[in-house]
């Protein structure tokens, strides 16, 4: 497969102005008739051939302006249809046949549980009909869907229904019109036996919008939260960004087989059922929050993505980074802002930093790709969002909002670039963002080495910041970036933020300093007492910060920093220092000794009167094994696991009474509600229970069993079951697991949780369990949720996946090879843990590489080929 290069971008020679499609649905022979109103671009050569994309299509007829074309008039390859000569303006008609039931890639038109649905982003539309499948071709659409009235009573597409009826052959049809020109990646069709929940929303200009959530009948009781989230998101986008919805109907459909979380098709969002269905008995608090965030994300795309879209797929972060930033802010406003930031950054530093340091590292705007679906990554989405956040921080909210207004106004209905977006921000603020643009083209995580000195005699604090970005594949040399560092100086005597005076100007107690050179020293004057610097507050830039904090400094910041995020981060750094010692002790076979300062810091937290229980729960949570691994030069999975377990147990033993008191104080039998208050209470209670269970004494096991048996809500039940299954008390956990599996055998989303709980346990029997569960009737390789819940989750089980006999790697490679045939997009994602082989010891490196080589010997999809090729380079 050949790469596509950003530098090769050419505007399309032919545009589609209007698209009419007729689908006659059938599992193995759906007929798609297309009638495209096309025009040559005025600047294009009159002799330019018309090249349309098309894959897995069986062409039955082709005509231009009503004249049928013969075989000699066009050329077909597996991927294109070329017509050598066409007029400047014409109508192209085509008739193709496709087979939705054999489409296991879940791109284009496919079947899920018998219902028809589509996924067209990024390049799925070419599996539906011959078309210029690129985002800078925008057309209005009129779509007729014909189906069986019994099997497919519901026939949906984008826009508004304009006609419906029954044909002579007894089949029924509905015609839909979408007045907003859109690229074909936003096209959607759904047909099946679905039921709806309906609600209404009055927009800020007083228009009534009908909201519909379409689900299978048995899921009708799982839609309340998504509907409430949708209405909150619609209001928030009006109030925060001045963005109003622009159709009379907004639909969401839940489907079981879906490659990602959800898709923002115009007026007809299609959701993975896991990203939309919730019920207190079946979904955890985390799932409720996830649903709220994804519903909002897809809705926000209506402006950031649909009304203003991307010129080409290299600009993907233009819509994804901005929309993730918007959904993060929405969730922060709706729930606990510090907790949202802590959770987002915690995930980001673990997963995106690893991506940026691995063989598939790429800039937020890549300059080439082989397979675009491989680029729906944490870098494009989450690092893209961090870069938009930095813009917001550099400009301030008011100017950022003006920039956003200008962007939506100026580019409404257009397909644009990242320069267009950043250009609007520069224009409204008069800030020179040219150096800032490097964030989009330079891969890798910048590291800042900082050190500070207090000059007592002159009451000065000298802060030196040095930045470097490590080499990444294809980018050996890096340029300095424009990095906003939000900071404060916390006085060690007063415990307060000191006023910052820089270059004679008082800049406040909490300010942003700009690191633009390789190295800069900032001299703060009038510093009346020795401070501890609090740097990168609220994670003001996506960088790694190194500062030689002592454990005393960190304990001080943990209690005195006015920035909630940095208070949490100080606790994480303190724990990491203790963990470092213990990892070393484990490796050297020396007795492990727990750092008392960590115990005392935790005691203080547990007995504090902290209002925000959700933040407290986060502060009591140790860095994950994956994050600890990120800090190590060579990952020793066993030492990391042993050290972390030792810290958990030492804390539990030293603070057992305190944890028990917190647990008991937060047990509640109030009816379940997904409110921030209740969620905070549950998370704190469950963190305490996890510590208590690390001792596995009879009392803790009994608490866990009781919480499981109370069956109050899935958050508590799942947590208790996980703790039991992850303990050595098989006598208690086996019956609980069996009962849970039997009780929920009818619910695929709960069975996903049942799979995950078992394959993430630390006991060494897990690999055999995965193999056994792959034969379970509830498991299917064709369903991405099942693959993620069982095989994907197993690959996150660090001590078992990285077994020294290499069987964990072999299991993953086998799954990748099988999925490469069925669903290349999912196969390529599943390989990720194997691509990180450089981070491990020599033995594991060889085992992992051997599996990558084995995959490489197979006939590969371009998706898997691209990832394996990079991983072995």
Q: Nearer to ligand HT7 by C-beta: 123 or 569?
A: 123
Starting at the edge strand found earlier in the chain, the sheet holding 447-455 runs 505-506, 501-502, 519-525, 460-468, 447-455, 544-546
Strand residues in 4-136 grouped as ranges (E): 4-5, 14-24, 30-40, 50-53, 58-64, 67-68, 74-76, 80-83, 89-98, 108-112, 115-119
Separation CA 752–CA 745 (nearest Å) = 10
**Residue 376 within binding range of ligand HT7, rule CB under 6 A:** yes
> Can you name the residues that pair with 208 across neighbouring β-strands?
202
Least separation in angstroms between CB 57 and ligand HT7: 20
Determine, following the binding rule CB under 6 A, whether residue 104 of this chain makes contact with ligand HT7.
no
How near is the Cβ of 309 to ligand HT7 at its closest, in Å? Answer: 11
Query: CB–CB of 507/486 below 8 Å?
Result: no
Q: How many residues does the chain have?
A: 873
Does residue 264 touch ligand HT7 according to CB under 6 A?
A: yes
3-state secondary structure of 699: helix
Locus of tokens 């669903």:
823
C-alpha angle 32-34-35 in degrees, rounded to nearest 5: 160
Beta carbon nearer to ligand HT7, 156 or 500: 156
- DSSP-assigned letters across all residues of 373-389: GGG-SHIIIIIHHHHHH
Which of ligand HT7, Zn ion, none does residue 142 bind to, with CB < 5 to 8 Å depending on kind? none
Is residue 263 part of the contact set for ligand HT7 (CB under 6 A)? yes
303-342 positions binding Zn ion, by CB under 5 A: 320, 323
Could you tell me the smallest distance in angstroms from the CB atom of residue 166 to ligand HT7? 33
Our finding on whether 803 is near ligand HT7 (CB under 6 A) is: no
Question: Which residue of the set 298, 382, 386, 705 is catalytic?
Answer: 298
Q: Which is nearer to ligand HT7, 237 or 595 (CB)?
A: 237
Cβ-based nearer residue to ligand HT7, 322 or 809: 322
Q: Is 320 in the site for ligand HT7 (CB under 6 A)?
A: yes
For ligand HT7, the closer CB: 297 or 729? 297
Which residues does residue 97 pair with via DSSP β-bridges, in sequence order?
Answer: 31, 58
* 422: partner contacted, choices ligand HT7, Zn ion, none (Cβ within 5-8 A by kind): none
Q: Which residue has the tokens 């078309």?
A: 131
Nearer to ligand HT7 (CB atom), residue 263 or residue 827: 263
**Residue 260 touches which of ligand HT7, Zn ion, none (Cβ within 5-8 Å per kind):** ligand HT7
Closest CB 825 distance from ligand HT7, rounded Å: 7
Residues 527-548 as b or e (16 or more Cβ within 10 Å = b): beeebbbbbbbbbbbbbbbebe
Q: Is 341 in the site for ligand HT7 (CB under 6 A)?
A: no
Is residue 298 involved in binding ligand HT7 (CB under 6 A)? yes
Side by side, which strands form the sheet with 483-491? 511-515, 483-491, 531-535
Per CB under 6 A, 297 contacts ligand HT7: yes
Measured from the CB atom, is 4 or 872 closer to ligand HT7? 4
Query: If we measure between CA atoms, which residue out of 280, 392, 381, 261 comes closest to residue 323?
Result: 381
Distances (CA, A) of 475 to 537, 663, 676, 849: 29, 51, 44, 23
The residue with its CB nearest to ligand HT7 is 260
Q: With binding defined as CB under 6 A, does residue 355 bind ligand HT7? A: no
**Chain centroid, CA 215 distance in Å:** 23
298 is known as an active-site residue: yes
Site string for ligand HT7, 231-260 (x = CB under 6 A): ---------------------------xxx
Q: Which is nearer to ligand HT7, 20 or 298 (CB)?
A: 298
When CB distances are held under 5 to 8 angstroms depending on the partner's kind, the choice from Zn ion, ligand HT7, none that residue 376 binds is ligand HT7
Applying CB under 6 A, the site for ligand HT7 has a residue count of 14
Minimum Å gap between C-beta 636 and ligand HT7 is: 36
Options 51-59, 64-72, 293-301, 650-658: segment touching ligand HT7 (CB under 6 A): 293-301
Collapsed DSSP state (helix, strand, coil) of residue 31 = strand
* Phi and psi, residue 736, nearest 5°: -65, -45
What three-state secondary structure class fits 583?
A: helix
Residues designated catalytic: 298
Enumerate binding residues for ligand HT7 (CB under 6 A).
119, 121-122, 258-260, 262-264, 297-298, 301, 320, 376
- Residues engaged in binding Zn ion (CB under 5 A): 320, 323
């Amino acid at each position: 497969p050949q790469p596509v290069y950003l530098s090769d971008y050419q505007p399309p020679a032919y545009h589609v102005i209007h698209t009419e499609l007729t689908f006659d649905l059938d599992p193995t022979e759906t007929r798609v008739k297309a009638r495209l109103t096309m025009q040559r671009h005025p600047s294009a050569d009159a002799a330019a051939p018309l090249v349309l994309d098309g894959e897995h299509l069986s062409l039955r007829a082709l005509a231009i302006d009503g004249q049928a074309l013969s075989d000699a008039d066009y050329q077909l390859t597996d991927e294109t249809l070329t017509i050598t000569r066409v007029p400047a303006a014409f109508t192209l008609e085509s008739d193709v046949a496709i087979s939705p039931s054999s489409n296991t890639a879940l791109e284009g038109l496919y079947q899920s549980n018998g219902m028809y649905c589509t996924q067209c982003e990024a390049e799925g539309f070419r599996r539906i009909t011959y078309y210029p499948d690129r985002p800078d071709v925008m057309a209005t659409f009129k779509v007729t869907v014909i189906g069986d009235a019994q099997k497919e009573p519901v026939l949906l597409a984008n826009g508004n229904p304009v006609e419906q009826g029954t044909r002579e052959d007894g089949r029924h049809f509905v015609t839909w019109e979408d007045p907003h020109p859109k690229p074909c990646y936003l096209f959607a069709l759904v047909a099946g036996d679905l039921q709806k929940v309906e609600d209404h929303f009055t927009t800020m200009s007083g228009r009534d919008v009908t909201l519909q959530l379409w689900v299978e009948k048995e899921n009708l009781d799982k839609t309340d939260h998504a509907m409430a989230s949708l209405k909150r998101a619609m209001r928030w986008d009006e109030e925060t960004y001045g963005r109003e919805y622009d159709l009379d109907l907004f639909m969401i459909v839940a489907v079981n087989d879906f490659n990602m979380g959800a898709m923002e098709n115009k007026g007809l969002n299609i959701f993975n059922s896991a990203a939309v269905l919730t019920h207190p008995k079946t979904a955890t608090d985390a799932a409720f929050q996830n649903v709220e965030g994804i519903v909002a994300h897809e809705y926000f795309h209506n402006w950031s993505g649909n009304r203003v879209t991307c010129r080409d797929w290299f600009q993907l972060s233009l819509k994804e980074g901005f929309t993730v930033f918007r959904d993060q802010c929405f969730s922060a406003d709706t729930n606990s802002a510090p907790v949202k930031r802590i959770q987002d950054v915690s995930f980001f530093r673990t997963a995106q930093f690893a991506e940026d340091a691995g063989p598939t590292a790429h800039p937020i705007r890549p300059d080439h790709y082989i397979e675009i679906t491989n680029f729906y990554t944490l870098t494009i989405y989450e690092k893209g969002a961090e870069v938009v956040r930095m813009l917001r921080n550099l400009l301030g909210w008011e100017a950022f909002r003006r920039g956003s207004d200008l962007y939506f106004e100026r580019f409404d209905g257009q397909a644009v670039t990242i320069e267009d977006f950043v250009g609007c921000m520069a224009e409204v603020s008069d800030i020179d963002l040219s150096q800032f643009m490097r964030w989009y083209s330079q891969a890798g995580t910048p590291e800042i080495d900082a050190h500070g000195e207090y000059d007592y005699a002159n009451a000065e604090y000298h802060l030196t910041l040095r930045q470097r970005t490590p080499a990444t594949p294809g980018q050996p040399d890096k340029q300095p970036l424009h990095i906003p560092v939000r900071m404060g100086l916390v006085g060690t005597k007063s415990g307060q933020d000191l006023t910052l005076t820089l270059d004679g100007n008082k800049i406040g107690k909490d300010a942003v300093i700009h690191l633009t050179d390789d190295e800069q020293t900032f001299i703060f004057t009038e510093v009346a007492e020795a401070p501890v610097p609090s740097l990168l507050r609220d994670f003001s830039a996506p960088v790694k910060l190194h500062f030689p904090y002592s454990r005393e400094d960190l304990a001080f910041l943990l209690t005195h920093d006015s920035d909630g995020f940095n208070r949490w981060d100080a606790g994480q750094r303190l724990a990491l220092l203790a963990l470092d010692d213990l990892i070393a002790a484990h490796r050297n076979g020396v007795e492990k000794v727990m750092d008392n300062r960590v115990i005392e810091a935790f005691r203080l937290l547990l007995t504090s009167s902290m209002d925000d229980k959700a933040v407290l729960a986060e502060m009591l949570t140790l860095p994950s094994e994956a994050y600890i691994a990120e800090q190590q030069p060579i990952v020793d999975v066993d030492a990391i696991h042993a050290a972390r377990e030792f810290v958990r147990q030492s804390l539990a033993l030293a603070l057992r009474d305190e944890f028990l008191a917190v647990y008991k104080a937060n047990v509640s039998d109030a009816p379940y509600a997904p409110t921030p208050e209740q969620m905070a209470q549950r998370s704190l209670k469950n963190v305490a229970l996890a510590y208590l269970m690390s001792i596995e004494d009879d009392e803790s096991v009994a608490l866990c069993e009781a919480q499981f048996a109370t069956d109050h809500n899935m958050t508590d039940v799942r947590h208790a079951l996980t703790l039991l299954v992850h303990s050595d008390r098989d006598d208690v956990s086996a019956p609980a697991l069996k009962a849970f599996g039997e009780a929920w055998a009818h619910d695929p989303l709960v069975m996903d949780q049942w799979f995950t709980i078992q394959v993430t346990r630390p006991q060494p029997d897990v690999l055999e369990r995965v193999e056994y569960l792959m034969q379970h009737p509830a498991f299917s390789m064709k369903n991405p949720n099942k693959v993620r819940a069982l095989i994907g989750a197993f690959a996150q089980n660090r001590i078992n996946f990285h077994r020294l006999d290499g069987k964990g790697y072999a299991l993953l490679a086998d799954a990748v090879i099988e999925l490469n045939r069925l669903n290349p997009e999912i196969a390529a994602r599943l390989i990720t843990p194997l691509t990180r082989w450089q981070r491990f010891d020599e033995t594991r490196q060889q085992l992992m590489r051997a599996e990558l080589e084995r995959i490489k010997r197979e006939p590969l999809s371009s998706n898997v080929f691209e990832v394996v090729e990079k991983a072995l380079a």
